[in-house]
Amino acid sequence: MDDMSGIRKENFAHVENVETSDGQSTPAQNDLVLRLEQKILELQGELEQPDVELPEGSKPPKFEMFDEMGDPKVHLRTYCDKLVGVGKDERIRMKLFMRSLTGDALSWYISQNPKKWVNWVTMSSDFMDRFKFNTENALGVFYIQNLKKKQMETFREYTTRWRSEATKVRLALEE
């Protein structure tokens, strides 16, 4: 290992093959490629937990993807439910969580400093705090009362849509 911030030199053996348009490589280009690859490896190291491995013989389950839409609490529950086969090791839960995210939710996750998450509770709490707006703007009774049949919609389609929307309505609790 060369002294390149803990990065193995063999990972960069192919850097010497960088060439200009006339077929010649320049030291500046080689240096730029080397620094970019170092940064990528550093970022990967921050996002991965190399000391965490799945139990032998198990493979990661296929997760429902969360893309910033929907209820984050539902996502966390279905995610944890899928991990029943890998045990209760929260390090595994934390390592695999990124695989259940896509789109803006994945971008949010990647932009975080994973060192701030000391356990599953802190990570899932941050996730809930970030995406709770999805549940705060729940539909009200007035929305469902004003739901009208669309002109090109059959009555059966309208009732199906109405029922689907009605399940999303949250009633205000009376004290």
Q: What spatial distance separates the first Cα and last Cα of the chain, rounded to whole Å?
A: 68
Average pLDDT over residues 17-35: 68
Which two structure tokens, joined as six digits, stand for 42?
């550093």
Average pLDDT over residues 119-135: 88
State pTM to two decimals: 0.53
Average pLDDT over residues 63-77: 87
Q: Rounded to whole angstroms, how far apart are CA atoms 60 and 82?
A: 9
Q: What percent of the chain has pLDDT over 70?
A: 67
* Residue spans per domain, the chain: 9-47, 72-135, 138-175
Quote the pLDDT of residue 70.
Answer: 81
Residue with the bigger pLDDT between 15 and 141: it is 141
Q: State the chain's mean pLDDT as an integer.
A: 76
Q: Where are the alpha helices (DSSP H) in the chain?
A: 27-47, 72-82, 90-97, 103-111, 120-131, 133-136, 141-145, 155-166
Quote the pLDDT of residue 174.
Answer: 44
Quote the pLDDT of residue 100.
Answer: 93
Quote the pLDDT of residue 30.
Answer: 75
Is the confidence at residue 60, as pLDDT, over 80?
Answer: no
pLDDT tens across 8-21, in order? 445 444 444 555 56
Q: Rounded to whole angstroms, how far apart are CA atoms 139 and 155?
A: 22
Residue with the bigger pLDDT between 83 and 160: it is 160
Quote the pLDDT of residue 171.
Answer: 59
Q: What is the 3-state secondary structure (H, E, C) of 148-173?
A: CCCCCCCHHHHHHHHHHHHCCECCCC
Is the confidence at residue 175, as pLDDT, over 60?
Answer: no
Quote the pLDDT of residue 1.
Answer: 42
